[in-house]
Amino acid sequence: MCYNMADKVVDKGMVKIMDTEIDVVLDLVSRDDEEEWFEFKENWFEPYEIGEYISAMSNAAAMHGEEMAYFVWGVNNDTHKITGTNINYQKDYKKEPFQHYLARQTSPDIGFKFCELEINEKRVVLLKIPAATKVPTSFDGTRYIRIGSSKESVIKYPEREAQLFDVLKNGLPTIDKMESEYQDLTFEKLFTYYAGRGIELKTNTFKKNLGLLTKSGTYNMLAQLLSDDSHMPIRVSVFRGETKGAPLFSVKEFGNTCILLSMEKILEYGDVINLIQVDERNRIMERNDVSLFDQNAFREAIINAFVHNKWVDGNAPMITIYSNRIEILSRGNLAPGQTKEGFYAGESIPVNQKLSDIFLQLHISERSGRGVPKITEVYGENAFEFRENSIVVTLPLKYLDSGVVDKVAYKAVDNVLLNATQEGLLRELRNNPNLTQPQLASIMGLGKTAIQNNISFLKKNGYIERVGANKRGYWRIKE
What are the residue ranges spanned by the domains of the chain? 2-170, 173-231, 235-396, 418-477
Tell me the per-residue pLDDT of 437-446, one tens digit each, with 9 for 90 and over. Answer: 888 888 888 8
pLDDT at 148: 84
Whether residue 211 has pLDDT greater than 60: yes
Question: Residues 306, 358: contact at Cβ < 8 Å?
Answer: no
Q: Most distant CA pair in the chain: distance in Å?
A: 88
Complete DSSP assignment for 403-429: THHHHHHHHHTTT----HHHHHHHHHH
pLDDT at 6: 34
Closest CA to 164 of 144, 181, 150, 178: 144
Peptide bond into 350 cis (omega under 30): no
417 backbone φψ class: left, alpha, beta (φ>0; ψ -120 to 50): beta
Closest CA to 250 of 231, 275, 269: 269
In terms of CATH architecture, what is 2-170?
A: 2-Layer Sandwich (3.30)
Question: Residues 355, 1: contact at Cβ < 8 Å?
Answer: no
Whether residue 408 has pLDDT greater than 80: no
pLDDT at 119: 94
pLDDT at 272: 82
- Cα 276 from Cα 296, distance rounded (Å): 14
Tell me the per-residue pLDDT of 53-78, one tens digit each, with 9 for 90 and over. Answer: 999 999 999 998 889 999 999 999 99
pLDDT at 5: 41
pTM given for the model: 0.66
- Cα 398 from Cα 321, distance rounded (Å): 13
In the CATH hierarchy, which fold is given to the domain comprising 418-477? Answer: Arc Repressor Mutant, subunit A (1.10.10)
pLDDT at 431: 82
Tell me the per-residue pLDDT of 94-139, one tens digit each, with 9 for 90 and over. Answer: 999 999 999 999 999 999 999 999 999 999 999 999 999 999 999 9
pLDDT at 449: 82
pLDDT at 479: 57
The sign of the torsion formed by the CA atoms of 251, 254, 257, 258 equals negative
The CATH code of the domain at 235-396 is 3.30.565.60
Higher local confidence (pLDDT), 270 or 457: 270
**303 phi and psi angles, rounded to 5 deg:** -60, -45
- Cα 164 from Cα 169, distance rounded (Å): 9
**279 phi and psi angles, rounded to 5 deg:** -95, 105
- Cα 302 from Cα 457, distance rounded (Å): 33
Tell me the per-residue pLDDT of 320-344, one tens digit each, with 9 for 90 and over. Answer: 999 999 999 999 988 877 888 888 8
